[in-house]
Every structure is written in structure tokens, then in C-alpha cells.
Amino acid sequence: MVKGMVLLTGINLGFVKDCWQLARGYWSSEEKWRAWGLTAVIVTLNLAYVYILVLLNTWNNRFYNALQNLDIEEFFSAQLEFCVLAGIYIIVAVYQLYLQQMLEIKWRRWMTQQYLDSWLAKQTYYRLQLIENSTDNPDQRISEDLRLFTNYTLRLSLGLLKAVVTLVSFIAILWQLSGTLTIPVGGTEVTISGYMVWVAILYAVVGTWLAHKIGKPLTKLNFDQQRFEADFRFSLVRLRENSESIAFYGGESREGQSFMGRFGSVLDNFWQIMKRQKQLTWFTSGYAQIAIIFPFLVAAPRYFAKEIQLGGLIQTAAAFGKVQDALSFFVESYPLLAEWKSVVDRLTGFVGNMEKVNALSDNGADIHHVPTPALTMSGLSIYLPDGRLLLSKLNLSLTAGDSLLVAGPSGSGKSTLLRTLSGLWPYAQGDITVPEGQSSLFLPQKAYLPLGTLREVLLYPGPRQPVSDEDIYTAMSLCKLEGLKDQLNRVEEWSHVLSLGEQQRIAFVRALIHKPEWLFMDEATSALDEPTERVLYKLLCEHLQNTAMISVGHRGTLNSYHKKKLTLDGAGCWSMLTL
Ligand SMILES: Nc1ncnc2c1ncn2[C@@H]1O[C@H](COP(=O)(O)OP(=O)(O)OP(=O)(O)O)[C@@H](O)[C@H]1O
């Protein structure tokens, strides 16, 4: 059966290696002494817990014998012993769980920090989407899978330790208590030593095997249930995110059908879970009830033969229960093992993809940060992920106060040139020299507005120096956003509240506040009317005279705000014009 479980869950040497690869970081980190120390205490408490169970089992013998013998002194002495044992049991049970959870949360905190660092480093979060078979939902890997990994690893390994120690201890006890059973077979007699042990093993194995057979479809059904619930939730979230477009299209009935379709899957699957759960409950309730009387039934012949007293009988029944519990652990953990395996696979895939992305970033254009005032590109070629050439051998140099307009048909690689200059696009060759220690700001077509107050939105990603409210007001007025002045402290989902044009003006406020040495704009005024566009570009020329500007745009009006124009054709060719 164990071999079958191994095959079904896919747990093998490779899995153990992957698991250790994921876990080893923490256990050899700067926190390792605390982690190992805590583990040692938890293991000790687990062993102490089993030891107290053994003592409580022996106590049964003493207590019930006292009752049978009407020995009042022994009865009260046993009561006292029970109070002491129960007191220790409670303390051990509380701290065993508390410390295990403490270890789990410390481990998860450490891993989350590491994964977040790797995900954010070198813009891995962006580049992950550029590779083939990229990780789906990296957010789920970090928030959900790390939680499950630490939880399952501790639960399963400590649970296994406890089950094995309990099994060994109680098999030894049960063996001692069982004595021998003599069964007449034909003309001879067969003597079975430790017969209760064999019966307990048989009872547990048959019982858990049957429970496993009946309950096995539940693993897949529960997995599907989570997926169907997530699909249903996702469709509701999409309506919220695209509420305006859907309202304009009047797509409510189409959306309603899609919601009910997805909710229908939730319901159908839940009916199947209920039916299967009912069958399982029939079985497990019956099995649990029989487990109460079954050991008495098996041990009764020795009791009635006066080979053991009432205490011995009760102790035997209790030990029988413990052996059976410990054996059940292995089968009950089966669904958990399968889930643990998929968590480990998902995390291993995520880590592998992050490493792949890092290796890829080393293959891109050589970006040198040097103490020169110029941004230069020499022999810069840019490709698509499939190897198609977008731009061939571009040579260009820009210094403070320069302004360059990048033009060309849609899809010709204008935005990709900006991505390459920012170090985001790995499919490039050539040399880029970036002035060291100078700041840059990127204004995309749709500015990113973080959650928070309007002040936080305007100062994103954080100013180089403290900025007074006066400075913010001035920049807002210049960008025609004075109407929002009294809302600086208001928390909103600003990307839903502000119009696209207002969001683009927010980006210009940022530029005026940050005063970067290099300003990249990718169709940053596409949603604005031409007079407003003119006002904003004039502002940049007046207030950011030392800033070099690189803009991407289609509109002819942009020519007048730039000194040079680079035109791309999307097949590698480019031309440079002085305006
Ligand atoms: N992640 C990606 N994977 C594969 N191809 C991509 C990816 N990102 C962009 N491209 C492709 O690269 C080409 C250039 O895209 P880019 O966004 O640079 O064009 P553009 O000139 O800025 O276009 P537009 O004027 O429409 O904004 C396009 O054909 C686009 O489909």
C-alpha cells in the first residue's frame, strides 16, 4: 500500500531533493540556530506528549483495578496521579502547537522575504512574462504556496515522527498486555503471541483502506471545488475591474449568463462532494463506533478466563485505539501528501523560472553605468523573443537638455527601445552607456497609480528629497489639476476615479516634482487635447531645462517640442533627423 501511495502521490527521491532545495535556505540562514533550537524543543515536546500518553495508558490499569477491588485509597491516589499527568499533558499540548506555529510563521516570513527580494530584483516580476512557459500567478506562489509549503512540511514531518513513536510505544505495550491466544485448529492448537497487536494492525489497515477507497474521489472533487470557486470569483472581479466598459456595452445579461455558468459548476461539484461525503460518513461513523467495543470483544476471552483484571482490559482497549490511530495517520495523510507534492512542484517551477530570467538578463545589451554626462547607444540591435530583428545597429548620443522624439508605425519597436534603455528587454545586443548616479523617470501611456492617498499617488515611487505641500500644489496647478488640491489626503482607487487625461497629467506632476535628469515618455499625452499637450511640454521645457527628454509618439504636433527625431521602420532600419 505504501508503494501504491508513493506512486499515486509521485513522491520519490527527486521530490525529496526538490523539497530540500526549497527548505535548506532557511535552515542554513542567519536564523538557523534559532530554527534548529525551536525544532529541538518541538521534537522534545512531541516525544514528551507520547510519553504522557503511555503513562496515562498505564494509569488506566491502576485506576480500574482500584475500582474493581473497591480500594478507596488507591482510587484517590490514582485521581491525584491523573491530575498531575493531565496538567502536564495540557501544558505540553498547548506549547507543542504554539511553538510549531511559531516556527512555521518565522520560516514563512523568511521565505516570503527571500522570494519577494528575488521577484523584485532586476525587474524579474516583469521579465517573467517574457519567457516561454512562464509562471502563472506568481502572486499565488508567494502568498499561498509558501504558506502551504511551511505548513505541510512541518505538519507532515512532525506528524510522522509522532505517529511512528506512538506506534512503536503502543505496539510494545499491546504486545505485553496481549499474552498469547491459543486456537484449536483441526487436531492441534495454534498459539499466537501478541495477538492483539495483529488484530489492531488488521483492523486499522482494513478500515483505513476501505475509508481510502470510499473517500479517494473526494481529493479530486475538493481540488476541483477550489478551482471552480476561484473561476467564479475571478469572473466577478473582472466585472468590477471592467465595470465601465461593460456598462457602455450593456453586457449585463451576457455577464449574468457567464456568472451562472461558472456558479453552476460550483453547485454540480458540491452535490458530488455531498454524496461522496455521505457515503464516507456512513462508513467512518460505523467504524468509529465499532472501534469502541471491538478491542473489548477481542480481549474479553482473557478477562473472563481471569488472566487479566478490569484495569488490564481497559488498558488493552486504550492501547489498541492508539495503535489504530497511529496507523491511520499514514493513510489519512495521503491527500495532504499529494497537495504537498503539488505545492513543491509549483514552487520549484517558480524558482527555476526566476533563475532562467536572471540568466536571460545577462544576455541582453551591455549596459554600463559610467561617470559621463551622456546616454549613448553604440551598435544597438533589438530583437523580438522569436529572434526577428526590430532595430539594427543604432548609434545615438544624448546629453542634458537634449530632446528626442521616437516615431514610426505601430509595432515598429518604439516602446521596446525604451524598454531596452531601461534594461527591461533582454533580447538586445550592443553597448549602452548610462550616466552614473543620475535619475530617470518613465511616463507610460497609462500611468501606474498605487493604492493610497492622492499625495502618495503624486509622489510615487518616492521623492529624492522631502516635498512640501506647497510644491505639490504648485505642480498641480501648472498641470491643470488644481481641482484636486483639497483631496491630497483622500484614499481612493484613483485609477478608477480619474479620467485617462487626468492620469496623464498626474504623471507630469510627478515629473515636475522629481525633476529627473532623464525623462522617458511613451505616448504620455495621447489622451490629452492638443492645447493641454502644448502647455505640458512647455512646462517641461521651462522647468526641467537640464532634463534630457526621450518621447515616443505618433502625433505631428510633438515635432515642435523636440530637437531630434528618430524614425523606426520595424524591420531594422532607422533614420535620424534634426528638427
Ligand atoms: N512580451 C512580448 N512578447 C512578444 N512580442 C512582444 C512583446 N512585447 C512587444 N512585442 C512585440 O514587439 C513589437 C514592438 O512592440 P512595441 O510595443 O515596441 O511597438 P510600438 O512601436 O511601441 O507600437 P505602438 O505604437 O502600437 O505602441 C510588436 O510587434 C509587439 O507585438
Interface pTM (ipTM) of the complex? 0.96
The per-residue pLDDT for 444 is 85
Nearest CA to ligand 1 atom 25: 410
Mutate to test the pocket of ligand 1, among 406, 412, 558 (most ligand atoms within 8 A of CB): 412
**Distance in Å, CA 432 to ligand 1 centroid:** 21
Q: Is the CB of 8 under 6 A from ligand 1?
A: no
Residues forming a β-bridge with 367 = 432
Spatial separation of the C-alpha atoms in residues 558 and 550, rounded to whole Å: 11
The per-residue pLDDT for 7 is 44
**Distance in Å, CA 43 to ligand 1 centroid:** 56
Looking at this protein, which amino acid is placed at residue 443? L
The per-residue pLDDT for 5 is 46
Q: Is the CB of 400 under 6 A from ligand 1?
A: no
This prediction has a pTM of 0.75
Task: Confirm if 453 and 489 have CB atoms less than 8 A apart.
Answer: yes
The per-residue pLDDT for 351 is 92
**Distance in Å, CA 413 to ligand 1 centroid:** 6
Nearest CA to ligand 1 atom 9: 416
Q: Locate the ligand 1 atom nearest the alpha carbon of residue 408 and give its number.
A: 21
Q: Locate the ligand 1 atom nearest the alpha carbon of residue 568 and give its number.
A: 21
Nearest CA to ligand 1 atom 29: 411
Task: Confirm if 103 and 154 have CB atoms less than 8 A apart.
Answer: yes
**Distance in Å, CA 230 to ligand 1 centroid:** 31
Nearest CA to ligand 1 atom 31: 411
The per-residue pLDDT for 213 is 86
The per-residue pLDDT for 364 is 64
The per-residue pLDDT for 1 is 43
**Distance in Å, CA 410 to ligand 1 centroid:** 8
Exposure on the CB side of residue 371, measured as CA atoms within 13 A: 0
Of 553, 524, 557, the residue nearest 566 (C-alpha): 553
Ordered domains of the chain (ranges, CATH): 9-178+342-361 (no CATH), 180-306 (1.20.1560.10), 366-578 (3.40.50.300)
Rounded mean pLDDT for each run of 10 residues along the chain, 579 residues in total: 46 83 93 95 95 94 92 95 96 96 97 94 85 73 91 94 93 86 79 85 86 82 83 88 82 92 96 93 88 88 87 90 84 77 88 85 68 85 89 89 90 90 85 84 85 86 78 89 87 86 91 89 88 88 88 84 89 87
**Distance in Å, CA 1 to ligand 1 centroid:** 54
Q: Scan for cell 533582454, then name that residue.
A: 426
Torsion of CA 36, 37, 40, 46, to 10 degrees: -110
The per-residue pLDDT for 545 is 83
> For residue 559, how many other CB atoms are within 10 A of its CB?
13
Q: Is the CB of 409 under 6 A from ligand 1?
A: no
Mutate to test the pocket of ligand 1, among 130, 414, 421 (most ligand atoms within 8 A of CB): 414
Nearest CA to ligand 1 atom 27: 410
End-to-end CA distance of the chain: 79
Spatial separation of the C-alpha atoms in residues 442 and 506, rounded to whole Å: 13
Q: 245-254: buried (b, 16+ CB within 10 Å) or exposed (e) per residue?
A: ebeeeeeeee
Mutate to test the pocket of ligand 1, among 384, 424, 554, 566 (most ligand atoms within 8 A of CB): 384
Q: Is the CB of 553 under 6 A from ligand 1?
A: no
Task: Confirm if 425 and 419 have CB atoms less than 8 A apart.
Answer: yes
Of 527, 551, 554, the residue nearest 537 (C-alpha): 551
Task: Confirm if 113 and 311 have CB atoms less than 8 A apart.
Answer: no
